[in-house]
Amino acid sequence: MTADAFEHSSDPAAQQEAAPAAERAAERRRMVEWHLEARGIRDRRVLDAMGSVPREAFLPPALARDAYADSPLPLGGGQTISQPYIVALTAEAAGLRPGDRVLDVGTGSGYAAAVYAAIVGEVWSVEFVPELADDARRRLAAAGVHDVHVVTGDGTLGLEQHAPFDAILAAAAGPDIPRPWIDQLAEGGRIVMPLERSAGWQQLVRVTKHGSDVTVDDLGAVRFVPLRGAHGTG
């Protein structure tokens, strides 16, 4: 679907960079095998979703050929599209299931939101930077992804009107778990987010809500852009 939209693009740069859909699909299968399964991602739903979402559709055309390298890539404005392994790890740690109500904070390109939507169905995704939100809406539509709702605003406030969420997933690192996220989490719900531990060092954590209590599991060291906004770095 997306590869088609891409190949029919009137943008000459996009045409030049677009490889045949079959070639991209083969690269995507290799990514799932080498970068995800080989590194311990086991959840079949996550592997299938990562194997179905065309990452090249969320990149500037000049970077399409790098779509299946397992690295973050620049989106412009100092922002990045998340590394495939980290998207998969986040989705697996959150235990996403079909029908879960998901809030994604930091839409960026829209890629991670599209992966989560391939597992759960509808996703609410909040992006701070209006231009990035507009681009993400355009890319998601071009990729045929219609169940991601991109909202422009401060994701640290959550999205009260669509709460409670089974999972809140963040792609930007804050100093603390934003209080509105805990309040807007369903019983048994999970937050997966990077926490800033010291300068240049972050830890991906999973927070699970049990009544008025939470448990926190460490998922390892990571590197994300800063989480801005009222309950972020400001």
Q: Annotated catalytic sites, by residue? A: 82
- Return the residues of window 206-225 that contact ligand SAH according to CB under 6 A: 225
Looking at the Cβ atoms of 24 and 55, the one nearer to ligand SAH is 55
Q: Does 84 bind ligand SAH (CB under 6 A)?
A: no
Q: How far is CA 26 from CA 21, 48, 51, in A?
A: 9, 14, 10
Q: Collect all residues with Cβ–Cβ distance below 8 Å to 118 and sequence separation of at least 6.
A: 48, 49, 52, 53
Pairing of strands 201-210, 213-222: antiparallel
Q: Give the Å distances, CA to CA, from 51 to 68, 84, 100, 133, 164.
A: 11, 11, 20, 24, 29
109 near ligand SAH (CB under 6 A): yes
Nearer to ligand SAH, 74 or 188 (CB): 74
129 binds ligand SAH (CB under 6 A): yes
Task: Report, in Å, the least distance between residue 106 CB and ligand SAH.
Answer: 2
Q: What is the DSSP letter of 30?
A: H
- Least CB distance from residue 180 to ligand SAH, whole Å? 11
Which one of residues 32, 49, 79, 204 is an interface residue with ligand SAH (CB under 6 A)?
79
Can residue 126 be called a binding residue for ligand SAH (CB under 6 A)?
A: yes
Q: Which distant-in-sequence residues (6+ apart) come within 8 Å of 116 by Cβ?
A: 49, 91, 96, 102, 104, 123, 169
Structure tokens at 218: 């460490």
CB of 231 to ligand SAH, least distance (A): 8
Interaction of residue 82 with ligand SAH, rule CB under 6 A: yes
What tokens appear for 49 in the block? 């979703």
Among 150, 230, 163, 223, smallest CA distance to 191 is for 163
**Interface residues for ligand SAH in 143-182 (CB under 6 A)?**
154-156, 171-172
106 binds ligand SAH (CB under 6 A): yes
Shorter beta-carbon distance to ligand SAH: residue 46 or 81: 81
C-beta closer to ligand SAH: residue 16 or 155: 155
Pairwise CA distance, residues 230 & 227, whole Å: 10
Nearest residue to ligand SAH, scored by beta-carbon proximity: 106
Please, which residues have CB within 8 angstroms of residue 19's CB and are 6 or more apart in sequence? 64, 65
Q: Is 111 in the site for ligand SAH (CB under 6 A)?
A: yes
Quick one: 57 or 207, whose CB is closer to ligand SAH? 57
222 HSE (CA, 13 A, CB side): 29
What residue ranges bind ligand SAH (CB under 6 A)?
79-82, 105-106, 108-109, 111-112, 126-129, 132, 154-156, 171-172, 225, 227-229, 232
